[in-house]
Amino acid sequence: MEADFVIVGAGSAGCAMAWRLSESGASVIVVEHGGSDAGPFIQMPAALSYPMNMSLYDWGYTSEPESHLNNRRLAVPRGKVIGGSSSINGMVYVRGHALDYDHWAEMGADGWSYADVLPYFRRMESWDDGGLGGDPDWRGTEGPLHVTRGARWNPLFDAFVEAGRQAGYPVTADYNGHQQEGFGPMDRTIWKGRRWSAANAYLRPALKRPNCALVKGFVERVEIVDGRATGVILRDRPPIRARRQVVLAASSINSPKLLMLSGIGPAQHLRALGLNVIADRPGVGANLQDHLEVYIQMASSQPITLYKHWNVVSKALIGAQWLMTKTGLGASNQFESAGFIRSRAGVRYPDIQFHFLPIAVRYDGRAAAEGHGFQAHVGPMRSESRGGVTLRSADPADAPIIRFNYMSKDSDWRDFRACVRLTREIFAQPAFAPFVKAEIQPGATIQSDGEIDAFIAEHAESAYHPCGTCRMGRRNDKNAVVDSQGRVIGVEGLTVADSSIFPRITNGNLNAPSIMVGEKISDHLLGRTPLPPANDEPWLNPAWETSQR
């Protein structure tokens, strides 16, 4: 088989590229190891806890024991399915803060400032404010990716936003628009009651074209001849050739793994495994970043939470309603209110994110034993800790070694303590007085720095936002893996386009910026002039230097 472009991975960025590249008339083959995304476990938004815990849809990776988190191994879900992680994620849509991208440009990602990427966010979106207001001039209305808001049927959603206001924080009608900082409605990739994954938005329309094909296969390495990528080698089937470019969009875990298996990476590490070194790039697999979070859980004094539906009969009724009408509780991911705040004075833009949920429950679907409750997922956005992905062996079937090195900086503990205390303050506001019965987790007795630190070490979980392992930068930067067009430095005909190229993690969930990367890299691959930069000026708290809120 042969095509102009061979894309490895049908995930967030890979699907977007399949649509844009095939739209140009170029031939495209997308190679995906995972299977179909059909069925209610993926398509029903309320079922989100199932696919990320199913080996059918998830690569099943775990971290190495994390020494600062009581040597716990943390789950690292990555989508092994059509749509990739956009088919198993929480469907939360966050562009990131404008200054995230300005920082990318400062780090050497030329052409990736906020002015450069905002036009691509607009191009990819079809946004509906749900009657809750927002910043339509900052949003897109004609893109393939539908972004909507929930009905906020539960009074707890409004209580969370009002409590933020009562605590002295701003209210924002659109954290993806002019002003991220504050409390307001959550954007989600849900449309007409269905998960609107990258597969639904981009890949399915692309596959209707005769020049776009999807191949199921396990890619073992990139074929490189005389310094140029010519295709990919698959297990148990013939190679697939690329006339113009091989594009890795296999995730921040699998893209560096494939580069190293192909001889691109830290030379000493590759030689130790008996691999031939084609390009010595020490940055491959390095710079691994993620968001950690804890759940601050409150027992509810009123039986109004989702716990009343946490039984077989209610779940069956919700599922039946969704199957027949695509409406009801099954049509929401239940993340309908959000918050972005700064941890202290002197922080220029938000570094703490809240996901509010009207039930006390874990991501794996286990509800709190206390019964009715609600929670805020909270964690710092810009940890200084860095980890890495390395090969376990030269066998492509072996899972890589993933070490996040979580909480290895003193600043991480300082910021996480602030997260816990500031969240408690929000739940103590008058807006929650009719609903709060008691604190479930951490528990009212956990107060000192040492007690909070122990709670964090035992209960912090990944928010599933790994990135940074094929960092974008200038060609003279020895630690950069790709240049500002996503081209692998030291090899021709090979591009990486997914969250692995992020120089630094963005503020919030990573699905939106990952899709944006696919959109923008597509223009580079086609040799098109990038979209004209935008002139929009984001809001910054005028008192950020002297005030925490």
Domain CATH code at residue 370: 3.30.410.40
220 and 351 inside one domain: no
19 and 91 inside one domain: yes
Residue 298 clears pLDDT 70, i.e. is over it = yes
136 and 276 inside one domain: yes
419 and 275 inside one domain: no
In percent, the amount of the chain with pLDDT more than 90 equals 97
Q: Is 55 in contact with 61 (CB distance < 8 Å)?
A: no
pLDDT, residue 441, reads 95
418 and 471 inside one domain: no
Average pLDDT rounded to a whole number, residues 407-420: 98
Range of the domain at 345: 151-185+292-380+407-459
146 as an active site residue: the answer is no
What average pLDDT is seen over the chain? Answer: 97
Note the pLDDT tens digit of each residue in 69-102. Answer: 999 999 999 999 999 999 999 999 999 999 999 9
pTM (two decimals) = 0.97
Bridge partners, residue 11, by sequence: none
Average pLDDT rounded to a whole number, residues 240-245: 98
pLDDT, residue 364, reads 66
326 and 444 inside one domain: yes
Residue 369 clears pLDDT 70, i.e. is over it = no
Average pLDDT rounded to a whole number, residues 320-340: 96
pLDDT, residue 454, reads 98
Bridge partners, residue 223, by sequence: 231
Confidence of residue 363 (pLDDT cuts 50, 70, 90): low
Q: Is 434 in contact with 368 (CB distance < 8 Å)?
A: no
pLDDT, residue 507, reads 97
Confidence of residue 370 (pLDDT cuts 50, 70, 90): confident
CATH code where residue 246 lies? 3.50.50.60
Q: Compute CA distances 57 → 190, 515, 542, whole Å.
A: 19, 20, 45
Q: Is residue 242 part of a domain?
A: yes
Domains of the chain: total: 2
Average pLDDT rounded to a whole number, residues 430-443: 97
212 and 328 inside one domain: no
Residue 367 clears pLDDT 80, i.e. is over it = no
122 and 49 inside one domain: yes
Average pLDDT rounded to a whole number, residues 313-317: 94
Among residues 68, 97, 465, 524, the one annotated as catalytic is 465
User: What is d(CA 49, CA 57) in angstroms, rounded to the nearest whole number?
Assistant: 12
314 and 416 inside one domain: yes
443 and 500 inside one domain: no
pLDDT, residue 233, reads 98
Average pLDDT rounded to a whole number, residues 397-403: 98
Average pLDDT rounded to a whole number, residues 150-175: 97
Q: Is residue 385 part of a domain?
A: no
User: What is d(CA 129, CA 65) in angstroms, rounded to the nearest whole number?
Assistant: 43
- Locate all alpha helices (DSSP H) within 44-154, ordered by sequence: 98-106, 114-124
142 and 159 inside one domain: no
Residue 366 clears pLDDT 80, i.e. is over it = no
331 and 433 inside one domain: yes
Burial of 56 (0-12, 13-18, 19+ CB in 10 A): middle
Note the pLDDT tens digit of each residue in 17-31. Answer: 999 999 999 999 999
Q: Is residue 195 part of a domain?
A: yes
pLDDT, residue 362, reads 74
In DSSP notation, 342-389 reads -SSTT--S--EEEEEESS-B-TTSPBPTT-SEEEEEEEES-----BEE
Average pLDDT rounded to a whole number, residues 357-367: 79
In the DSSP assignment, the letter for residue 400 is: P
Residue 261 clears pLDDT 90, i.e. is over it = yes
Confidence of residue 365 (pLDDT cuts 50, 70, 90): low
Residue 463 clears pLDDT 90, i.e. is over it = yes
Residue 511 clears pLDDT 80, i.e. is over it = yes
